[in-house]
Chains A and B, each alone.
Chain A
Amino acid sequence: MDDALDVRQVSLRFGGVRALTDVSFSIREGELFSIIGPNGAGKTSIVNCISGRYHPSEGKLFYRGQDITGLPTNARAALGIGRTFQNLALFHHMSVLDNIMVGRHHLLKNNFLTGSLYWLTGARKEELEHRRKVEEIIDFLDLQPVRKATAGTLSYGLRKRVELARAMALEPKLILLDEPMAGMNLEEKEDMARYIVDLNEEYGMTVVMIEHDMGVVMDISHRVVVLDFGKKIAEGDPAAVLADPHVKRAYLGEEDEALSDPDDVPPAMEASA
């Protein structure tokens, strides 16, 4: 079976800046996979390459065996790739409900003509059917009280949750979460962690998560990849990655004689699982 996602030697350059250099890893179907690394390591860059925001300068991306390297951004939703953003990217003047309904864009069939003739063309029926699906997501994420609220008026934690709801609404097989817990308090983090585990186990989505909270990453991830200065420095199960001297150095800046040569990076640790 093909991997859910196969990242093959992806490099990304902005002029002279190398955001990513020769990054390769693969994510298995049904996995909860975390990307970690210090600030500026290229975590969001790789997620942007997967979701189509950026196109890699070199290398290829395969989604379930299909080459998606050059695919237009908006064509990826229909394939089943959804994402949330690190900095909130909701539609601020829309209600929470409408925000989530936008997520179902590629699943809806009505257009500006049939939509305008609401009652005559079955657009009403279709909208109501999808409303039902959206309500399921609202139930799952406990968004009932803010259903009709304007997204821009919500608190930070709630907005993050609405964003997750919107990404879920497009029924992705692969969901990319860019720092889903940044700026949250402990309680909100715990809730979010449960939601993510449920996404993975109950809904069967392959989850790719960027997160800085090591506690959460270690607790819920199946496998972890570590980036530093745009290069992969480790990959494997959480415990093994955390014990990796390269990872320690990247995070803590430890001087280690044996590792003084940065080009001499050993092959990534493979998951023992």
Chain B
Amino acid sequence: MASSLIPAGDFRTSYAVDTTIFPTVTSRNFAIAGVVLCALAPFALNDYWMSMLIAIGIYGIAALGLNVLLGFTGQISIGHAAFFLFGAFTSAYLSSKMGVPAFFAIPLSGLVTALVGLIFGLPAARLKGLYLAIATLAAQYILLDFFARAEWFSGGSVPASAEPFSIFGYTFTGDHQYFYVVLAYVVVSFLLVTNMMRTRDGRALIAVRDHYLSAEIMGINLTYYRTLSFGIAAFFAGIGGALYAHYQLVVSYEGFGIERSVLFLAMVIIGGLGSVMGTLMGTAFVVLLPEAMEWLSAALRGGVIDQTLGLKNNITFVREIAIGVIIIAFLVFEPDGLAHRWHQIKAYWKFYPFSH
């Protein structure tokens, strides 16, 4: 499919050229331009928009981990928010109680969360599908219960505090500065996963998803890869959580229940299962949709529609319903996710005005 988008005359003369991340030079330049544009964003956007971009970045990294698990390996987890929170608490603990600088605490908490993910991923060696979903649900509840009880670690009912991010004595304060930390992590994370997916272990994960019996015949150890994908998913959840901790500077376990885990699933499914870039699109969609609905309902308030229907304060409920309806409509009309739609739009322009 992707090969059809390579322009005429673009002949690959070496295997190295044929294995680049971006199929054409133009697409690579566009991606670089995108990153540069993001880097310039703090000069143009206000605090509100910066906080939106930071949220997309932080949740995007965590969702990327979930996409490795769900999209690429075909294993479900409904405990992703708990791993996210575990990373946040770990980084807060390391930075405020152990005196580890945030610079080291973030990757460190990613690793610790990965270890926890490996432990909770062990049932994956035996369980599949709905049974595995229930097993991961246990991770959600066990971890959340742990946060509520382990006061030495999470502060219990008192939110844990985290130190601000700083390197070489320079502290990143405020949305405009912290954005660069998040941007760096987003670029690195997405590059790492893209690379992994085009090498041996990435292919092995997809092989386990597509046909585990023949994967085993090809010499792939199913237990190893099924557990490994849980570790990778938890690693990125932990990184995302740690970034969240040093952004908010306080971490509380409230608001990280199962509904947050489901939201992570929504990001991955809406973005496109098994699509690295789609993850970011899906995250942006899920983060921005409630905001967009908020603006819409604010615009509606006191307007003609509001008065004729007599909505008044019920407008907030209309907003919630609209979000639900849009997600359902999305899944019905675009089950392959935003990444697929994006690809089709590209193909449309490429072949315009000939649609075939």
Which residues of A from 79 to 128 have beta carbons under 8 Å from B? 82-83, 85, 89-94, 98, 101-103, 105-106, 108-112, 114-118, 123-124, 127-128
Q: Using an 8 Å CB-CB cutoff, how does the interface string of B1-40 with A read, 1 for contact, 0 for none?
A: 1110000000000011011000000000000000000000
B3 close to A148 (CB less than 8 A): yes
Closest Cβ of chain A to B130, distance in Å, is 22
Contact A132 B15 (CB under 8 A): yes
Binds B, one of A17-25, A70-78, A197-205, A219-227: A70-78
Number of interface residues of B (CB under 8 A): 36
CB <8 Å contact, B199 and A118? yes
Q: How far in angstroms is the closest Cβ of chain A from B73? A: 12
Q: Are A123 and B199 in contact (CB under 8 A)?
A: yes
Contact of A57 with B by CB under 8 A: no
B206: A residues at CB distance < 8 A:
91, 93-94, 98
With beta carbons under 8 angstroms apart, the residue of B15, B19, B203, B213 that contacts A94 is B203
State whether A90 and B15 are in contact (beta carbons under 8 Å apart), knowing that A74-B219, A102-B203, A115-B196 are contacts in the complex: no
A53 at the interface (CB under 8 A from B): yes
B219 touches A111 (CB 8 A): no
Q: Which of A92, A102, A111, A135 contacts B15 (CB 8 A)?
A: A135
- Contact A115–B214 (Cβ < 8 Å): no
Taking a contact as CB atoms closer than 8 A, the residue among B217, B220, B228 that contacts A83 in the complex is B217
Q: What residue in chain A is nearest B222 (Cβ atoms)?
A: A74
Q: Judging by beta carbons under 8 Å apart, are B199 and A115 in contact? A: yes
- Whole-angstrom distance between the alpha carbons of A123 and B196 in the complex? 10
Cα A135 to Cα B14 in complex, Å, equals: 12
* Interface pair A77/B219, CB less than 8 Å apart: yes
Residues from chain B with a CB closer than 8 A to the CB of A72 are: 221
Q: Are A112 and B228 in contact (CB under 8 A)?
A: yes
Contact of A91 among B1, B195, B210, B228 (CB under 8 A): B210
Residues of A near B107 (CB, < 8 A) are: none
A89 adjacent to B200 (CB under 8 Å): no
Would you give the 0/1 interface string for B104-135, flagging 1 where the beta carbon is closer than 8 Å to chain A?
00000000000000000000000000000000
Q: Is B85 on the interface with A (CB-CB < 8 A)? A: no
Contacting B195 at CB < 8 Å: which of A73, A92, A117, A166?
A117
Q: Which residue of B lies closest to A103 (CB)?
A: B218
**Interface contact B196-A78, CB-CB below 8 Å:** no
Determine if B213 and A53 form an interchain contact, defined as CB atoms under 8 angstroms apart.
yes
- Docked complex: A52-75 residues within 8 A CB-CB of B: 52-53, 72-75
Q: How far is the CA of A51 from the CA of B204 in the complex (A)?
A: 19
Determine the chain B residues whose CB is within 8 A of the CB of A89 once the complex forms.
Answer: 211, 213-214
* B202 surroundings in chain A (CB, below 8 A): 112, 115
Asked if residues B204 and A127 are in contact (CB atoms below 8 Å), the reply is no
Instruction: List the B side residues contacting A73 at CB < 8 Å.
Output: 216-217
The CA of A112 and the CA of B202, in the complex, are separated in Å by: 7
Instruction: Name the residue on B nearest A118 (C-beta).
Output: B195
Interface string of B186-213 (1 = CB under 8 A from A): 0000001101101111111011011101
- Across the interface, which residues of B come within 8 angstroms of A105, CB to CB? 200, 203-204, 207, 218-220
Contacts A94-B203, A94-B206, A124-B19 aside, 12 further interface pairs with beta carbons under 8 A come to A74-B218, A74-B219, A76-B217, A76-B219, A78-B219, A102-B203, A102-B220, A103-B218, A105-B204, A105-B218, A127-B198, A132-B15
14 residue pairs of the A-B complex, CB under 8 angstroms, read A51-B217, A85-B214, A90-B210, A91-B211, A93-B209, A114-B199, A115-B196, A115-B202, A118-B195, A118-B198, A123-B199, A127-B19, A127-B200, A132-B15
Task: Give chain A's interface residues, CB within 8 Å of chain B.
Answer: 51-53, 72-78, 82-83, 85, 89-94, 98, 101-103, 105-106, 108-112, 114-118, 123-124, 127-128, 131-132, 135, 148-150, 166, 170
